[in-house]
Amino acid sequence: MNRTRQTGSVQEPPEIASLFLAGARTVADAIADPSVARAWNLPSVLEEQPVSSLAGHLARGGVWAVSEYLDAGVPPGPVDFESAGEYFASVVSDLSADANRAIRERAAAVASVGFEELLRTLRERVDALSVRVPGLKPDRLIAVIGGRVMRLEDYLTTRIVEQTVHLDDLARSVDRRPWPMPAGAEALTIAVGLEIARRRSGQTAVIRALYRRGLAGTTLPVL
């Protein structure tokens, strides 16, 4: 995926590793918010998930899944997903009711240690990744869900999307303004979303959804 940011009149690629780590620190700060602790056992905006499970999913899926996959070593390849958008389009298309239930159960298991222990583990993992990730090459291969292979930069991009989307879910769940994401994270998330929409719904559907009122459904399937 071609990702750029505007710097004066020059287009430069954003530093994905730094953006991921800044987002990981935002996740930790958000989960540490007293509003999350107060709502820990209350329903979230996500179906069948209390705030605790949403926090568990955000901590693991948005941050420390990276360390778990890195610990498995470097796979031989070939690359299965060439971009973050291809990854999401494939994974979402494969999701069954059982798979969704398994995701909720993993999130609940992560959160079952309680607010303080989850936060302690999360901060520990963020600190470790802050040392580990900057030393890795963007094109290093990593085996992710189902053993399928991606380049590290593309997988970190998927984690930035997870951070951005689920931090908004968490903010809505505790009835507060969204936590500000690092500069560039929201634009990157939108760009990935457009790629997913093109892959899942086609170019024509995306053009109509963006430019023509009434020709698309109330939502365009992305995730």
Angle, in degrees to the nearest 10, between helices 185-201 and 203-211: 120
Q: pLDDT class for 3, splitting at 50, 70, 90?
A: very low
The answer to whether 21 and 133 have CB atoms below 8 angstroms apart is yes
Q: What is the pLDDT of residue 217?
A: 62
**Per-state percent for the chain, helix, strand, coil, to nearest 5:** 65, 5, 30
Res 11 pLDDT > 70: no
Please report the pLDDT score of residue 220 as a whole number: 67
Say yes or no to pLDDT of 138 above 90.
Answer: yes
User: pLDDT grade, residue 10 (50/70/90)?
Assistant: very low
pTM, whole model, 2 decimals? 0.90
DSSP line for 140-187 = -EEE-GGG-EEEHHHHHHHHHHHHHHHHHHHHHHTTSPPPPPPTTHHH
Give the Cα separation of 67 and 15 in Å (integer).
19
Q: What is the mean pLDDT of residues 173-191?
A: 95
Bridge partners (DSSP) listed for residue 5: 12
pLDDT recorded at residue 219: 65
User: How many CA atoms lie less than 13 Å away from 55 in the CB half-sphere?
Assistant: 34
Residue 221: predicted pLDDT? 66
3-state DSSP assignment of residue 77: coil
Spatial CB neighbours of 62, under 8 Å, sequence gap ≥ 6 = 23, 24, 27, 159, 162, 163, 166, 167
Q: Residue 194 and residue 88: Cα distance in Å, rounded?
A: 11
Q: Model confidence at 212, in pLDDT bands (50, 70, 90)?
A: confident
Answer yes or no: is pLDDT of 87 > 60: yes
- Using left for φ > 0, alpha for ψ between -120 and 50, and beta otherwise, residue 219 falls in beta
Q: List all residues 6 or more positions away from 65 whose beta carbon is below 8 Å from its beta carbon.
A: 159
Q: What is the mean pLDDT of the segment spanning 40-48?
A: 95
User: Is 118 within 8 Å of 27 (Cβ atoms)?
Assistant: no
Residue range 68-79, pLDDT digits in tens: 999 999 999 899
Tens digit of each residue's pLDDT (9 = 90 or more) over 105-135: 999 999 999 999 999 999 999 999 999 999 9
Can you read off the two tokens belonging to residue 214? 């009434």
